[in-house]
Structure 1
Amino acid sequence: MNANEVAGLTGLSVRTLHHYDAIGLLCPRRNPENGYREYSEENLDRLQQILFFRECGFPLSVIRELLENPEFDREQAFQVQKAYLVHERRRIDTMLDTLLKTHKTWKGEITMTPKEKFEGFDFSKNPYEEEARRRWGDETVQKSSSTLSALGKEEQEKIARQMENIFCTLAQCRQLPPDSPEVLEKVGEFYHFLNDNFGHHYSPEAFTGLGQMYVDDPRFTENIDQYGEGLSAFLAQAMKHYADTLN
């Protein structure tokens, strides 16, 4: 199948499929005559795994790490994915019940307790992502976590403030073209900041993938866009442009 056919089958955009190829997540063979991507049955099976993990809230960078790990086991992955989706179904059912109760409260039919008003909301870390990391490892995340954990509280807070300042500065630039010299200079500072402080060296490809994760993962999008509407999408473009200058 070609990219257009896979896009029609899955509902993904062709651009997304091309991005998966660019970051090494899903790399179909190329037709030697025209260079077009050709997706095999094996590619479709891998894509299904990618989409299951994505629906379970996993960032693309973590999904790639999991699928490339030699110890990855599809049966174990099935158990993790099933557990998450069952958990999510129950959470959504609870939130729907909370919403209906809230509606009745507005109409004066019932009175909710403070605890009942927030049943179903869960902003904790994805426990199934943590389980997957324990099973198959995630070298990048482990290195970053270990590096930050080794720092004192004051140093951790300093890095957090620096990160916030970087996002605030980039937010002020988001009306400029993402490939403008001013933007590339600021994104370059961000690139070196990450590589200097998180115990992991981001290659240009990984830096591009990180930027794309800012728009693919709603959790990152929500967090980053608090510094300025549309900042996550702007960063995804700017980070790719900067990475291209490094190749």
Structure 2
Amino acid sequence: MRLLEGQVALVTGAGGSIGRGIALRFAEEGAAVAVHCRTAMESAREVASRIQDSGQRAVVLQADLTDEEECHQLVRAAAEWGGGRLTALVNNAGVQPVRQLPGMTAAQWRAVVDTNLASVFACTQAAAEIMRESGGDGEGGGGSVTHIASIEGSAPAPGHAHYSASKAAVVMHARSAALEYGPYGIRVNTVSPGLIDREGLAEAWPEGVRRWHGAAPLGRLGRPKDVGDACAFLASPLASWITGHDLVVDGGVSARPTW
């Protein structure tokens, strides 16, 4: 039996590279997948079509996750599509603009925090309510929630202060949520990726890619599938006693001394 057989999952930001990898990996392991996007409808439809072609169920749902009510509506829509059940949520949607702290406005700060952090709070709150009521996944209790954080949550890069702060907060939200939702059988974890390859990255940032190859003990960039593997594991019965954990997926870069 596949790891996620019979599960109903919602993956936010699944029109993007990492979200696509997560959604496809969940489908490979037997889950029905609600594919969320905000504006990337064409990409999200392509992901859903690939899932359906593989014999699994998928639906595309659109929402602006900077709006709390739209977060709640999205989660309810995914559960309704799933027959009243939602067993897994992956909070992947996020933004990563580059902007130096000097001159950054509060509005620019909030634009990142609202997308990367406030949406995680709202979607998790809505999903947990459904998981408590629907009886969960049959193995891990009420269900699982996985936030996509980043290794920048503990090792910031210049120009990413708002992003790094939001991702550090996402990790702490997961730990807090693990404490408060644990009695209902709901597990909450984070996955912190390193540099994940995408189309055109090597051409757009050759120096960064070169430095990453030199720093990574495993000698390569990450792939969206690597993040999907970690998320599928955390949503599966294999992780039924894992909650409040940050799973780093970075090819070993975090193990390298910084001095």
TM-score (norm 1): 0.26
Larger-gyration structure (1/2): 1
Higher helix share: 1
Q: Which has the higher contact order (CA 8 A, sep 6+)?
A: 2
Between structures 1 and 2, the one with greater strand share: 2
